[in-house]
Each structure stands twice: as C-alpha cells, then as structure tokens.
Amino acid sequence: MKVLVIGSGGPTAKLEGSKSFTKGLCKRYGIPTAKYECFVDEGLAKDFVRSNKIKFPLVVKANGIAAGKGVVICNTESEAFSAINSMLVEKKFGESGEEIIIEEFLVGEEVSFFALIDGLKVVTLGCAKDYKRVDESNESQNTGGMGSYSSPSIISKDMEQKIIQKIIYPTAQALVNMGTSYKGVLFAGLMICKDSPKLLEYNVRFGDPETQSMI
C-alpha cells in the first residue's frame, strides 16, 4: 500500500528537535528572537543566572522535545536554580534536557503561525492563539495547550507580511544555504512584541490544539 506523506525530515527536523540549533540559526541569519545562552553544565548555567545578564523573569528551556512541558518561567533565582537542577541534574526530560537554553522573557501576545514550505516557496495556512497556562492565572506554568481560537486579531495583513519577511522566508533561505531545504508544514511559535514579531520556537508539524480551531 502506498501512502502519500507530507512533512519535514532529516536535518530540517532539527528546527523542532533542537532549540539550540534553531537559536544558532537565528543568530547567524538575523532572525528576531529572545536573547539567550545555551548550557550543558549546571554550574555555568547558575553562574549565568547570578550574572544578571538576563533580568528576571527569565525562561529556562529544555533543548529537545518535551511534550510542550520543557519551558519554565522563572521569577526568582531559586526558581531558576530549581529548573536548572530539574533538567541538568535530575534528568527530568532525559536526553531532551541534556542541554538547556536560558533566555529573556518576552512581553507581548503569543500566537501560532503556520506555513506550507517547499524550498523557497512559502504559502501561509493561517494562525491561531492557544492558551497554555494550567489554570486561569497568568502566573501558572505552561502545558502543551489547554485550548485555542483561530485568526487572532493581532495578525493583520501587515503583521503577516512582517512574519513572512523577517522570520519564515529567512529560515527557508537559511536552510537552503546550509545545503538542505524545508518541505512540509512549518509551525512558528511567535511573540508579537509591540509591533514586531519574534520567534519563540519552531515545530515541524501542525499544532495541537491550534489545528482544530483553524479547521
């Protein structure tokens, strides 16, 4: 039986599988994202937190795939140390947490943006806003997604063009420059900061629960 499948694979799947890979790509090609540093050593990670180079609140992320639960927003040094210990010492996320990213906390409105890509050809598929918090408090921790709605008003035609020109197309071009090309659905997790989009993360697939609301 032959099954037609669309989706990313091989090197391009690292856009989701390794946040440090994606962060490095952003730095190299000028794609807007949060300030960050990557660590595999617990002591160096804690020294960086103490250095105050990134102000609180800050975000600690597992490098690999962690079912949407590998992101911890930290308001204090003790919370940051706890997140670092959980990932690098206690191995809460296994191999996915062997490297971590510590980055600035972006203030804005978070949205999910979807595009179909074939090399340098980009077709937008829509956008959605999902609610990640475990309860109604904005102070609670993230989940993989509690619910969503499609076509958030913050994504105007002008903002859509900014997202494509500043984030989506430069990513597609970067991969071509690296000797590969993206084919499939690309899901960009974005923060709209004032009037400027910044990349939080990529997924190389449709989103859950975003896709249900878009359909």
* SS3 assignment, position 113: strand
Per residue in 19-53, pLDDT (tens digit) is: 999 999 999 999 999 999 999 999 999 999 999 99
The residues pairing with 117 across neighbouring beta strands, listed in sequence order, are 122, 184
Domain regions of the chain by residue span: 10-19+107-214, 36-104
The whole-angstrom separation of Cα 78 and Cα 49 is 10
Distance CA 36, CA 12 (A): 22
> Residue 146's pLDDT band (boundaries 50, 70, 90)?
confident
For residue 115, what pLDDT is reported?
97
**Closest among 127, 176, 122, 163 to 12, alpha carbons compared:** 176
Mean pLDDT of all residues in 103-130: 94
Q: Does domain 10-19+107-214 have CATH number 3.30.470.20?
A: yes
Task: Give the pLDDT confidence score for residue 10 in this predicted structure.
Answer: 82
Q: State residue 80's pLDDT score.
A: 98
- Cα–Cα distance between 126 and 60 in angstroms, integer? 29
**Residue of 68, 154, 71 lying closest to 110 (CA atoms):** 154
Pick the CATH number of 36-104 from 3.30.1490.20, 3.30.365.10, 3.30.9.10, 3.40.50.300: 3.30.1490.20
pTM, whole model, 2 decimals?
A: 0.89
Taking only Cα atoms into account, the Rg of the chain, rounded to an integer number of angstroms, comes to 17
Tokens found for residue 53: 């180079």
